[in-house]
A and B are shown apart, each in its own frame.
Chain A
Amino acid sequence: MIRVILPYHLRNLAGVGREVSVHVDDPVTQRSVLDALEVGYPMLRGTIRDHATKLRRPMLRFFACGEDLSHEPPDSLLPVEVASGREPLLIVGAIAGG
């Protein structure tokens, strides 16, 4: 299972805790993880990436294993630690706004 940590407002929207787990078949990529996340939690569709373009919303970031993966291509493999479930994929909201 792939572990995903959601930002506060998306936890509330999905009615879940800080971390959720989703089953993802290989290859484990940003796209496959987000696809699985949106199947498990359809209320998150359109909130992390645009419905049509599938691009990450500009004020969200993807972190894992101490690295910013936000600008990696969506079909690049995620770190093996994420794919194995040892480390989570963090979806982080920008610390900005008033």
Chain B
Amino acid sequence: MSGIRVLVGTHKGAFVLTSDGTRKKWDVSGPHFGGLDIYHLKGSPVDPNRIFASQASDWFGQVVHRSDDGGKTWQTVGNEFKYDGDPGTHRWYDDTPHPWEFKRVWHFEPSLTDPDTVYAGVEDAGLFRSSDGGGTWQEIAGLRRHASGPNWAPGAGGLCLHTILLDPNNPERIFIAISAAGAFRTDDGGKTWQPINRGLRSEFMPDPVAEVGHCVHRIAMHRSRPDVLFMQKHWDVMRSDNSGESWQEVSGNLPTDFGFVIDVHAHEPETIYVVPIKSDSEHFPPEGKLRVYRSRTGGNEWEALTKGLPQRECYVNVLRDAMAVDSLDPCGVYFGTTGGQVYASANAGDSWAPIVRDLPAVKSVEVQTLP
């Protein structure tokens, strides 16, 4: 029987949650790296026992851990992320030029074909690649050298590159997203990049439809249809049917179009999930009710999924990397909260139950479906 492994990054360590394919009984391993901020963990689709973990703290900087046995044991690998050449400056909060400075890895995206290749999205926004299992890292500098780079400015969470989507049909094509610069795409393996933000509207900018400057929170795609993208922006849920060339708003009847996560059902490319969050400034679920919203029509028409989720006095947040799906049938959906709960649904969101209730604040959730 197949199994599920949920990789959870929290404010105070990493946790590995495992179950068989029934997804009813869970074992909890951890904390790994107890007491330390673990931004993200992700396993290789080629070798699921190979997992990369980003540990980042104000005390000890960036540390990268790799496991080759599914999270049982870990070794440190390379942690030097050096921008290519003279990195120059980007815009700071007060509009002044600010030197590009590496702070942390927000997201790892292992290659779809090579277990030794992994991409890292970092703050200050840059994309790095390792071809030796994380031993050394080289910047894919064409992104940061885009003409708009000196004008990129951080969001409240920093100038972070948090989303990396690899096109399964085209190894030369990568999508990334940066808060608060927007979404970009390369079609030549990273040499050149173009902003893909046409159709986004952000009222906090002097020009709400500018080419860059949008606070994109997350992008998701279905593997079978990589030209269709779904986006949760600072405000607005969006979709693109042409690889990001243009976007249309699909917020529809959501109670608020703000949120961080967005993901796609493993077997239904038009079924998508978001967790609406009240903003600006409050950043907790509207009315104190934790609700996942599901659209079976690729957006616009949304249904609230509440069974098993707290419907009163709930004031947690669900951060941008904290939702994932498995590939079993029916599809499993998982998300983690800043209150330390990891909720799972084994029926595509119809009902939910917590796997764990009292972890440290959850920063990221990734899921592996094991043979």
Closest residue on chain A to residue B36 by CB atoms: A9
Per DSSP, chain A at the interface is loop
Which one of A25-33, A43-51, A75-83 is at the B interface? A43-51
Query: Is the C-beta of A60 less than 8 angstroms from some C-beta in chain B?
Result: yes
CA distance A81 to B98 in the complex (A): 42
- Write out the residue numbers on chain A whose beta carbons fall within 8 Å of the beta carbon of B35: 8-9
- Write out the residue numbers on chain A whose beta carbons fall within 8 Å of the beta carbon of B79: 45-47, 51
Given contacts A47-B63, A51-B79, 5 further A-B contacts (CB under 8 A): A9-B59, A46-B63, A46-B80, A50-B61, A57-B59
Q: How far is the CB of A7 from chain B (nearest CB, A)?
A: 8
Would you give the 0/1 interface string for B81-105, flagging 1 where the beta carbon is closer than 8 Å to chain A?
0100000000000000000000000
Q: How far is the CB of B102 from chain A (nearest CB, A)?
A: 9
Q: How far is the CB of A43 from chain B (nearest CB, A)?
A: 4
CA distance A51 to B60 in the complex (A): 11
Closest residue on chain B to residue A10 by CB atoms: B60
- Write out the residue numbers on chain A whose beta carbons fall within 8 Å of the beta carbon of B60: 9-10, 13, 47-48, 57, 60, 93
Assess whether B82 is in contact with A51, with CB atoms less than 8 Å apart.
yes
Closest residue on chain B to residue A8 by CB atoms: B35
Assess whether A59 is in contact with B82, with CB atoms less than 8 Å apart.
no
Assess whether A94 is in contact with B59, with CB atoms less than 8 Å apart.
yes
CA distance A43 to B55 in the complex (A): 13
Assess whether A57 is in contact with B36, with CB atoms less than 8 Å apart.
no
B:69-84 near A, CB below 8 Å:
76, 79-80, 82
Query: Is the C-beta of B62 less than 8 angstroms from some C-beta in chain A?
Result: yes
**Pairs A–B under 8 Å by Cβ, sample size 7:** A9-B35, A9-B59, A13-B63, A43-B63, A48-B60, A51-B80, A51-B82
CA distance A52 to B84 in the complex (A): 12
- Write out the residue numbers on chain A whose beta carbons fall within 8 Å of the beta carbon of B76: 13, 43
Q: Which of A10, A46, A59 has the most CB of B within 10 A?
A: A46
- Write out the residue numbers on chain B whose beta carbons fall within 8 Å of the beta carbon of A46: 61-63, 79-80
Would you give the 0/1 interface string for A8-21, flagging 1 where the beta carbon is closer than 8 Å to chain B?
11101100000000
B:290-342 near A, CB below 8 Å:
none
- Write out the residue numbers on chain B whose beta carbons fall within 8 Å of the beta carbon of A12: 33
CA distance A7 to B58 in the complex (A): 14
- Write out the residue numbers on chain A whose beta carbons fall within 8 Å of the beta carbon of B61: 46-47, 50, 57
Closest residue on chain A to residue B81 by CB atoms: A51
CA distance A94 to B33 in the complex (A): 18
Contact of B58 among A43, A48, A50, A59 (CB under 8 A): A59
